[in-house]
Structure 1
Amino acid sequence: MKIPIRNLFYLLSYVWDVEWEMEWASIDANKSGDALNLLARILTISTDRVIRRGLDRGYKEVSEELFGIRGRIDISSTIKRNGFAKARLTCAYEELDHSVLHNQIIKTTLERLVHADGLDNQLREEVLDLTHRLKAIKPIDLDANIFSKVRFHSNIRGYRLPISVCRLIYDQLMPNESTGRYEFVNITDEKLFRIFERFIFNFYRKHLNQTIYTNIKKERLGWQETNFEGGIEDFLPTMETDVSLFNSTSKLVIECKFYESAIQAKSVGNLNIKGSFISTHLYQLFAYLKNLEIKDKSILSGLLIYPENGEKVDATYNMQGHKVSIKTINLDLSPQEINNEMLACLSIFKDVAA
């Protein structure tokens, strides 16, 4: 299952919590070709913007031998270097430096992109130019945990987009030991599913005021009226909704599924015959509704959302008093049309949520 390149950034903008409307025209995703060049284009544009606005700086401790005194004297280091006899004191002081973590992540990612196979030549020149403009920043060793150490606040809110792009590039850019270059591996279906799931949640959170719901959350559920009575160990799994939308009277549980089709096929001999909706997905959603029913006095409804893959699905049922809908979203449409489809998914629940 694939997400069209021109709309990949649209989905990612919700995952990363950036304004896609502001970025759309400048990025021109239609000309990006593939995921590597799309991400590189986003990174070059957003990094250039950060540089023009002024790179962030932070205080870093410097240790230096001086004839005078600056900051505090490091007595032990001065003694080890026989500094008192030479009249040279080892001093530790703080100095403003551009080599703060978020700048270092961008600089190191750009250096890797320069050596990435498949990068458009013009983009490579732009990436190389940015590394020269960031020459005062020291690169660092990147690892999967370093990105979570960046703490965004109002002074560096412009860094959110380039740092988010750097994280995805880090995940997908693999070193080739034989050539010394980097290869961009395709984004896996599992990662695309996570992108799709986060998009659904953040879309409804951002557009909550355009719905009949007032709150949104992921909801952890236990198995209601269930007690462990014996055996080796209790292995019942914890349940967690992808999205729970609710107001004072009703709740909608949404499950996001990134599958080739919402319908599972049945094989009869050499023939593949359309079968039914994927049973495990319906069972999962229904289990959430039935367990919520015991402790939640709201009117409960359910929604399964799939990406559309050549066949539109739009079905609604009443299941033991719960309205349940199964719908597909066409990710090949324009961003505004996807917006409209996402909001239209909720329209059938207006009567139960009133």
Structure 2
Amino acid sequence: MKSIPIANLYYMLCYAWGILPPLGARRTSFDDFSSPAEIIGSEICRMSTAIVKRHLAVSFVSDLERTRRPRGKINFTQSVRESGYKRKILVCSSPSTSIDTLPNRILKAALALLARQESLNAMIRKDAFALEQRLSSVSTITADRSAFTRLSNLILPKTYRYPMALCELLMLRFSPADGDGSSWFDELYRDEARMRRVFEGFLRGFLQEHMPHAKVGARRFQMADLQVRHGDSGLIPHLNMDVVLEFAQNKSIVIDAKFTANQISSHHGTNKIRSEHFYQIFSYVCNVKATQPSRDVSGLVLYPDVGELEALDFSVCGSNFSFRPIDLSKDWRSIHDGIIDIVHQLESMPSPTGNASNGGTAFPISLA
């Protein structure tokens, strides 16, 4: 399988985990950085700069003050207890704002970690140190798992969601011995089971972001027209579809994400697409058509490009099918445009008739 550049794997994780930066604040290239920690660190610094300048999260606190000039709310109980009224002094509480909030504490902890990480780019360390100093009035904490658990219970401002997710990735995923994060990314890339989930989540998140005219999501269907004559119906598995796109024009595309290098099977010197991959997408499409007969349903199987499979488009039983590789080693713009182009091609493809051919074949196949 072709090696995936760190920047591309980072983008895939962002889409899979739903931690995309705000639309107007997206970086187009990470070519200047050589490690995952540098990519993440540069993004934390970049987003922190905007936060410190304009969007620092604040909390409302109540300040107690002993004064001869009452303001705010008078705390009579405390005033009497301290006998302040004899000295004509009252204890008052007045509301004020503070930037010493949990999100800012976590941000400061992440910046402090970046500033002291010698394996990082000197410019990132310098920027992180400068930003940390600007948060001098924020308490210093150790951002451990409990801190992020408490953070998950808060409603974060929109500008904080992306940097907080990056802080969690930086501080909880990378071990101290893995200063630049390369080991964690390498381990992730070598774990095919985890990469299958990342690839599936990436495609779903990507299409949700870039196909606003379609309803995008995973779908779980029971077999159409299922009738159990004897036994437990719970033993019959559901159909779990990775991604389904539903368009307004009564058209749907079922997408199956296959992160595997084994895309072609060979039998007696003849290469074919893996039969289980075809039967799976075929059953998905047939089931959707059975439950939604008015819709034109197509099937799409997407693989990482390993040099085995070329684009294959065909129609069978009244539905269009496409098997396509995606070269994840290319620059991200090519990947971005390639996926959108594949979906648009299948979306605009006319529906086949699905009728038997002149030869009377009951299972007609035509190559596009």
Q: How does 1:142-221 map to 2 (within 5 A)?
A: 142-143=144-145, 145-152=149-156, 156-175=157-176, 184=181, 185-187=183-185, 188-189=188-189, 192-208=195-211, 214-221=214-221
* Per-residue deviation, 1:96: 0.7
* Per-residue deviation, 1:235: 4.1
Structure 2 equivalent of residue 118 of structure 1: 119
TM-score w.r.t. the length of structure 2 is 0.73
**Are the equivalent residues in 2 in contact too, given 1:112–1:182 (CA < 8 A)?**
no
Counterpart-to-counterpart distance in 2, 1:325 and 1:39: 36
Structure 1 294/108 Cα, relative in aligned 2: closer, same or farther at 3 Å?
A: same
1:295-333: CA deviation from partner (whole Å, max 9, x where unpaired)? 111121110112223455311233433222111111222
**Are the equivalent residues in 2 in contact too, given 1:254–1:304 (CA < 8 A)?**
yes
Structure 1 293/58 Cα, relative in aligned 2: closer, same or farther at 3 Å?
A: same
* Equivalent AA in structure 2 for residue 118 of structure 1: S
Structure 1 193/59 Cα, relative in aligned 2: closer, same or farther at 3 Å?
A: farther
Structure 1 353/134 Cα, relative in aligned 2: closer, same or farther at 3 Å?
A: farther
**Are the equivalent residues in 1 in contact too, given 2:120–2:180 (CA < 8 A)?**
no
Structure 2 equivalent of residue 286 of structure 1: 282
Structure 2 equivalent of residue 234 of structure 1: 234
Query: Is 1:317 the equivalent of 2:314?
Result: yes
Structure 1 340/182 Cα, relative in aligned 2: closer, same or farther at 3 Å?
A: closer
Structure 1 equivalent of residue 244 of structure 2: 244
Structure 1 305/228 Cα, relative in aligned 2: closer, same or farther at 3 Å?
A: same
Instruction: Select between 12-21 and 165-174 the one with higher mean Cα deviation.
Output: 12-21
* Equivalent AA in structure 2 for residue 293 of structure 1: K
Instruction: Select between 114-123 and 332-341 the one with higher mean Cα deviation.
Output: 114-123
* Per-residue deviation, 1:99: 2.2
* Per-residue deviation, 1:251: 1.0
**Are the equivalent residues in 2 in contact too, given 1:251–1:299 (CA < 8 A)?**
yes
* Per-residue deviation, 1:205: 3.1
Structure 1 equivalent of residue 102 of structure 2: 101
Q: How does 1:37-76 map to 2 (within 5 A)?
A: 37-61=38-62, 64=64, 66=66, 71=73, 73=75
Structure 1 equivalent of residue 138 of structure 2: 137
* Per-residue deviation, 1:127: 2.0
* Per-residue deviation, 1:98: 0.8
Query: Is 1:339 the equivalent of 2:342?
Result: no
* Equivalent AA in structure 2 for residue 286 of structure 1: F
Counterpart-to-counterpart distance in 1, 2:272 and 2:106: 47
Counterpart-to-counterpart distance in 2, 1:195 and 1:231: 37
Counterpart-to-counterpart distance in 1, 2:194 and 2:350: 34
Q: What secondary structure, in the 3-state scheme, does the structure 1 residue paired with 2:31 have?
A: helix
**Are the equivalent residues in 1 in contact too, given 2:311–2:322 (CA < 8 A)?**
yes
Structure 2 equivalent of residue 329 of structure 1: 326
1:254-298: CA deviation from partner (whole Å, max 9, x where unpaired)? 1222223533578x9xxxx89643444434323322322221111
Counterpart-to-counterpart distance in 2, 1:294 and 1:86: 81
* Equivalent AA in structure 1 for residue 282 of structure 2: F
TM-score w.r.t. the length of structure 1 is 0.76
* Equivalent AA in structure 2 for residue 335 of structure 1: W
Structure 1 10/83 Cα, relative in aligned 2: closer, same or farther at 3 Å?
A: same
Q: Give me the CA root mean square deviation.
A: 3.7
Q: What secondary structure, in the 3-state scheme, does the structure 2 residue paired with 1:327 have?
A: strand
Q: What secondary structure, in the 3-state scheme, does the structure 2 residue paired with 1:282 have?
A: helix
**Are the equivalent residues in 2 in contact too, given 1:147–1:167 (CA < 8 A)?**
no
- Count residues with an aligned counterpart: 332
* Per-residue deviation, 1:231: 5.3
Counterpart-to-counterpart distance in 1, 2:299 and 2:161: 33
* Per-residue deviation, 1:3: 2.8
**Are the equivalent residues in 2 in contact too, given 1:299–1:352 (CA < 8 A)?**
no
Query: Is 1:306 the equivalent of 2:303?
Result: yes
Counterpart-to-counterpart distance in 1, 2:99 and 2:291: 54
Structure 1, gaps ≥5 residues long: none
Counterpart-to-counterpart distance in 1, 2:231 and 2:324: 41
* Per-residue deviation, 1:60: 3.4
* Equivalent AA in structure 2 for residue 224 of structure 1: A
Counterpart-to-counterpart distance in 2, 1:232 and 1:214: 37
Q: What secondary structure, in the 3-state scheme, does the structure 1 residue paired with 2:97 have?
A: strand
* Per-residue deviation, 1:229: 5.7
Counterpart-to-counterpart distance in 2, 1:191 and 1:20: 27
* Per-residue deviation, 1:122: 3.6
Counterpart-to-counterpart distance in 1, 2:99 and 2:54: 14
1:4-44: CA deviation from partner (whole Å, max 9, x where unpaired)? 1243454456443335775335xx51111021111111111
